[in-house]
Homo-oligomer: A and B are copies of this chain.
């Protein structure tokens, strides 16, 4: 950053921390009406056997955004989804003498498009948000911030596009919203509000699946 450092710009430099900078990616999906998060089982100390948010160091020649995109791709195989910076944690560190900074991001993925990395060590797995295993470090805190942000984002953005396939029914969309908000929504009000928002548009297509009236398919306007 090389900005000034009050009285003694050079002197204070000697005391500057040179921590590892890591990115953490909180990856959410919605499956069967349940909000889930991707966690990795730690196969080595510290916190061996506990589960943690996927993350890793920012590499040389890489921006933080690129590191986040790479991490997401490594774990899920997906790119080009909702991914945005969340918060930077300075105190998640298991080894305080060295210092570390975790720049957390959060991502939304459609579960059908995900191919989880097939590892036995550092194994990734989806976990239901209201039934999490013991987490490493302060990862509960990070997930909590991410969840709050997600709920807010849903109110005024079309972030949900990233949780659904290109075409979907109103019911599927509503289930995603309900899973995230954690409460049931009124079908008529939901439909009216979403259509008025201009986030989604109707397609000419319908989908028949069962012995009942076929459902209109919609798509997100931003994904034309």
Interface residues of A (CB under 8 A from B): 1-7, 9, 12-13, 15-22, 24, 40, 42-44, 46, 52-60, 62-65, 71, 74-75, 85, 87-88, 90-95, 99-103, 117, 119, 122, 136
CB distance from A14 to the nearest CB of B (A): 10
CA distance A71 to B5 in the complex (A): 8
Main secondary structure of the interface of A (DSSP, over half): loop
Contact A101–B103 (Cβ < 8 Å): yes
Contact B85–A1 (Cβ < 8 Å): no
CB distance from A60 to the nearest CB of B (A): 6
| 7 A–B pairs (Cβ distance < 8 Å), ordered by A | A1-B100, A5-B56, A5-B57, A6-B56, A16-B59, A18-B20, A85-B88
Contact A21–B21 (Cβ < 8 Å): yes
Q: Name the residue of chain B whose CB is nearest to the CB of A92.
A: B1
